[in-house]
Amino acid sequence: MKTYDDPELQAIAIKLTSDDPGIRRVAVMDLVDSGEPEAVELVIQALQDPDTKVRQEAAKVVDEFEAEDMADALISALNDSDEVVRNSAAHALADLKDPAAAEPLLKALESSTDSFVVSGILRALKPLRNLGAQSPALARLDDPDPQVRREAVGVIGWLKQPENLPALVKTAKNDPDPDVRRSATGALVYANPQQVGQALVSLLNDEHWQVRCEAANSISKLDHQAAAPALMEATKDDLWQVREKAVDALGKLGVVEAIPVLGECSKDTMSNLRKAAIGALGTIAHKDGRPYVVTALDDPDPDVRKLARWAISKLDAAA
Amino acid sequence: MPIANHHSSVPVIVDEDKCIADKGCTVCIDVCPLDVLWINEETGKAHMKYDECWYCMPCEADCPTDAVTVNIPYLLR
């Protein structure tokens, strides 16, 4: 057995050789507190322990160490018989963002059926942007588990491949889970406005408010000018959160025709919305917006007043 | 009036079958801000030595084996 200079680490190493899995487990728990870089070796050793509980405990502490030092051990842990271990390994590998991890992750994805693990692996694959993940992710868009579908949307969104847009649009419009629809709506931003503009406009009428918010966001990110009338309509949404995003988007798009509706929003009872409206009027910096901004200089909310002063300076600069 | 000298129950209950204090674990003892948890010399398991508890819960939350239960009195819930 290897000996360590640090007496604490040495004591842990000795405990890790115990026949009692309970003692080995407690030793792994103690590893976290060791500042020695060599402690990683013992974590790797514990990840291969015959006892599940010990491996689980080791999996819990992996994120306290540099994943780089134990990439191989983590990759083999992806095939662990225990779900907790597999999932922690996928998480730690995701932090690693090492392109070399893509291959084993894809292999592990093939053999995984558990939704929890599948979503963990997909999450790890996402930042690697490996094209090999495309077809498995597309296939998982029809998974019965919404968590898996959401992670699959994430993978596809990060890949930014134009050919995946129809699948993403379909998910954004038709998925039964609002959270999945929201992710898909947010993922559409890599497209050309012509390709997804219509879909995003229709998503402004989704039954779930977070999807509507995300649709307004995506429209503003894509600078989809043709959506202006729909956004103006969305400033009358039942929920102020949606109104706020629509107002933000109108400001970013610089829609001069929207000034009357923005003025309407600058008188809303919800101060967050007033703030967004004044911000948008300042961004557009068109003289027609000035009366609303001047009124807002006396707003009861100090944040709105502050923003109104900023908007006045923008209007003055534009004049 | 009879005087109760012994508490029949304490708020922090440790399941001795689950507790691994005898293997060297001291998580609950370390996290307790009042230092009221100790190791029972006979069994090697953790137990509540002093009946004084803030019901702050880390002992229950951090126990690696879910052996600790804190019973919060009804009026504090």
Averaged over A179-199, what is the pLDDT?
93
Averaged over A244-249, what is the pLDDT?
96
- CB-CB neighbors (< 8 A) of A26 in chain B: 20, 23-25
Q: Do A22 and B20 count as a contact with CB atoms less than 8 A apart?
A: yes
What's the confidence (pLDDT) of residue A83?
A: 81
pLDDT band at B7 (very low <50, low <70, confident <90, very high): low
Residue of A nearest to B23 (CA): A23
Which residues, other chains included, contact A67 with Cβ-Cβ below 8 Å and sequence gap of 6+?
A: A74, A92, A93, A95, A96
Q: Do A25 and B20 count as a contact with CB atoms less than 8 A apart?
A: yes
Query: Comparing A147 with B75, which gets the higher pLDDT?
Result: A147
What's the confidence (pLDDT) of residue A186?
A: 94
Contact (CB, 8 A) for A265 and A243: yes
Q: Do A20 and B23 count as a contact with CB atoms less than 8 A apart?
A: yes
**Dihedral sign, CA of A86, A90, A96, A97?**
positive
- pLDDT above 60 (res B55): yes
**What's the first-to-final CA gap in chain B, in angstroms?**
30
Q: What is the pLDDT of residues B18-46, one digit of tens each?
A: 999 998 899 999 999 999 999 998 999 99
> Which among B19, B22, B23 is the top mutation candidate for probing chain A, defined by the most A β-carbons within 10 Å of its own β-carbon?
B23
Residue of B nearest to A24 (CA): B23
Least confident of A28-37, A94-103, A263-272: A94-103
Residues paired with residue B37 on neighbouring β-strands, in sequence order? B48
What's the confidence (pLDDT) of residue A250?
A: 96
pLDDT band at A63 (very low <50, low <70, confident <90, very high): confident
User: Is residue B35 classed exposed, middle or buried when 0-12, 13-18 and 19+ CB atoms within 10 A define those classes?
Assistant: exposed
Inter-chain contacts counted by CB atoms under 8 A, chains A and B: 20
Residue of A nearest to B62 (CA): A29
Query: Comparing A116 with B46, which gets the higher pLDDT?
Result: B46
- pLDDT above 80 (res A173): yes
- pLDDT above 70 (res A287): yes
Residue of B nearest to A29 (CA): B25
What's the confidence (pLDDT) of residue A237?
A: 94
What's the confidence (pLDDT) of residue A147?
A: 93
- pLDDT above 80 (res A72): no
Does the CB of B27 have a partner CB in chain A at under 8 Å? yes
Residue of B nearest to A56 (CA): B64
What's the confidence (pLDDT) of residue B25?
A: 92
What is the dotted CATH code of the domain comprising B12-76? Answer: 3.30.70.20
What's the confidence (pLDDT) of residue A78?
A: 78
What's the confidence (pLDDT) of residue A95?
A: 76
What's the confidence (pLDDT) of residue A249?
A: 96
- pLDDT above 80 (res A283): yes
Least confident of A33-47, A182-196, A219-233: A33-47
What is the share, in percent, of chain A residues with pLDDT greater than 90?
Answer: 63
Place of tokens 């847009």: A165
Averaged over A123-146, what is the pLDDT?
92
pLDDT band at B9 (very low <50, low <70, confident <90, very high): confident
- pLDDT above 90 (res A273): yes
What's the confidence (pLDDT) of residue A91?
A: 79
Mean pLDDT of chain A, nearest integer: 90
ipTM of predicted assembly, 2 dp: 0.77
Cα–Cα nearest to A40, from A76, A15, A4: A4
Q: What angle do CA A153, A158, A159 make, to 5 degrees?
A: 100
Least confident of A71-75, A124-128, A142-146, B26-30: A71-75
Q: Do A57 and B27 count as a contact with CB atoms less than 8 A apart?
A: no
Q: Do B64 and A20 count as a contact with CB atoms less than 8 A apart?
A: no
Q: How far apart are CA A247 and CA A228, in angstroms?
A: 10
Averaged over A205-215, what is the pLDDT?
96
Q: Do A29 and B27 count as a contact with CB atoms less than 8 A apart?
A: yes
Q: What angle do CA A122, A127, A130 make, to 5 degrees?
A: 75
What's the confidence (pLDDT) of residue A80?
A: 82
Q: How far apart are CA A313 and CA A245, in angstroms?
A: 23
Q: Do B24 and A15 count as a contact with CB atoms less than 8 A apart?
A: yes
- CB-CB neighbors (< 8 A) of B25 in chain A: 26, 29
What's the confidence (pLDDT) of residue B6?
A: 65
Q: At what angle do helices A178-187 and A193-203 cross, to 10 degrees?
A: 150
**What's the first-to-final CA gap in chain A, in angstroms?**
79
DSSP, residue by residue, A139-162: HHTT-S-HHHHHHHHHHHHHHT-G
- CB-CB neighbors (< 8 A) of A30 in chain B: 24
User: Is residue A195 classed exposed, middle or buried when 0-12, 13-18 and 19+ CB atoms within 10 A define those classes?
Assistant: middle
